[in-house]
Amino acid sequence: MPARVEPPRSGLLGFVTAPSGKLALLDIGLLGYIPLDALAPGVLQFEVPTTPLQIHGEAASPGGGAAPTWQRMRFVVDDASNAIAVSRKIGDVAVDLAQLAALDAAALATWQHDTSHDGLADVVFWGKDATGLAALLAAPSHRDGFGWCDLPIDEAEQRADKIARKKHDHHWQVAFEIRPHSDYFRLAEAARASHSRTGNALLHDGSRGIGWLGLALPTGAFPVFVDEDAAGRLLQIRVEFTADARF
């Protein structure tokens, strides 16, 4: 695999839009395990403009060639020079699976986490013994290790089964995933391709705007604040990855 470039310590990480005027913050990975109606009480929502919001991150450390250790994320509504006059805590966002998403709240109603939109999927594997397995299966190299892209779902499942059998037979240390081309796939691929492990992508049907996802984040229940100017205008939404809130 190519050497990782040192990720940035801070700066602009991407954009998000909420055409419905409501932005949702949540650990989107949880939708792979928990139905939306059960997860809904833990989803924070904010009324925001329909124009793009810039996402800025501030890292506590550069991360030594891996993802940064994030200290703060800011979803900037108004990047003018207005001073922050009031900061209010809105609640806490639970980051259980080390990922945080920001997207149009209306997009959650039609979210497809594991269902492929085009009937295709990627199969990717990595780990200590991945090179030997790749040679056995004639698997091409992949950004995340080895594997195949754009396979029909049935073929992807067959290849994943073969990986599992060879892993068991040889007692190899290998991890693998089937990655269906779902809504989650679009965001996760953008984040995986970034040195900051964050990225944004257009959601599938286009009408739900641009979503954003951060991977490799601290886990915990982190406080979320809104910062306003003296006239009560929302300037930014701020997530603080405080040490005492980490799991």
Burial degree of 238 (CB within 10 A; 0-12, 13-18, 19+): buried
Residue holding tokens 């049935």? 154
Strand pairing partners for 160?
none
Query: How far apart, in whole angstroms, are the C-alpha atoms of residue 53 and residue 206?
Result: 17
All structural domains of the chain with their residue ranges? 11-110+193-245, 120-180
Query: How far apart, in whole angstroms, are the C-alpha atoms of residue 38 and residue 161?
Result: 32
What are the pLDDT tens digits along the chain (247 aa)?
333 444 455 789 999 999 999 999 999 999 999 999 999 999 999 999 999 999 999 987 655 555 678 999 999 997 666 889 999 999 999 999 999 999 999 999 999 999 999 999 999 999 999 999 999 999 999 999 999 999 999 999 999 999 999 999 999 999 999 999 999 999 999 999 998 899 999 987 777 899 999 998 999 999 999 999 999 999 999 999 998 888 8
Q: ∠ CA 22-27-69 to the nearest 5 degrees?
A: 115
